[in-house]
Amino acid sequence: MEVSLLELLSVEVNCSVADAFGDAAYGNASDFLYCTGTADEIGTCWPRSGAGRVVARPCPDFINGVKYNSTNGGDDDVMMMVMMMVMMMMMMMMMMMVMVVMMMMMMMMMVMMMMMMMVMMVVMMMMMMMMMMMMVMVMVVMMVVMMMMMMMMMVMVMVVMMMMMMMMMVMMVMMMMMMMMVMMVVMMMVMVVMMMMMVMMVMMMMMMMMMVMMW
């Protein structure tokens, strides 16, 4: 519902009449300096008032055809808006606090993860050192075993060589004994032959002597 020109003129006339009556109509005019009464564009009549004073008038029911709450409920709406803004600010603060707590928790989780990573790195380094020590020990044991095996092989080779030398010596002794036996047999045979020759010579001499004697 819009305010018509006729209504505005009626309000202006009423405000002028009220201004003429002055303090009798509103009871707030000054005898010396004052503001004259007038009507604004939305049909609200502002009465004559003393200089330096504040005048309050209720809002109209309609402004440019739009229903408007002209009661004190407007203040309640303002209070509701203020409360809603306060609640929104509190919610924002709570959200910020939640975000701060979440960030702190994330930072704590990151610190814990870093500490766990450091512990894992230390454990891995210790395991690597233990593995290296075990490898060194295995290498030392292998070297000792190899040295012992080499020593055993050398001892075995020496034993085999000694056995071969002993066998060679035994064979040489046996060969020498066989040679001596052969030489003895040969010498005995030579002696037998010589003795037989001597016997034959003696017999021949005896035969010759007998023949000589027979002649």
pLDDT tens profile 180-214: 998 888 888 888 888 888 888 888 888 888 877 77
Of 52, 4, 49, the closest CA to residue 22 belongs to: 49
Tell me the pLDDT band of 5, cut-offs 50, 70 and 90. Answer: very low
76, 163: one domain: yes
Residue 79's domain comprises: 71-169
Mean pLDDT of the chain: 80
Domain count, the chain: 2
Q: Are residues 27 and 104 in the same domain?
A: no
Q: Report the candidate in 23, 24, 63, 20 with the shortest Cα–Cα distance to residue 40.
A: 63
Least confident range of 66-70, 121-125, 130-134, 185-189:
66-70
Token pair recorded at residue 156: 């075995």
Whether residues 49 and 101 fall in one domain: no
Same domain, 16 and 91: no
The reply to whether 191 falls in a domain is no
121 and 44 within one domain = no
Q: Are 11 and 43 spatial neighbours (Cβ–Cβ below 8 Å)?
A: yes
Q: Are residues 53 and 77 in the same domain?
A: no
User: Of 192 and 14, which is predicted with more confidence?
Assistant: 192
Q: Which two tokens stand for residue 165?
A: 């030398």
Sort strands 49-50 and 34-35 into parallel, antiparallel or unpaired: antiparallel
Q: What pLDDT is stored for residue 168 in this prediction?
A: 93
Tell how far CA 156 is from the center of its chain. 57
Whether residue 206 is contained in a domain is answered as no
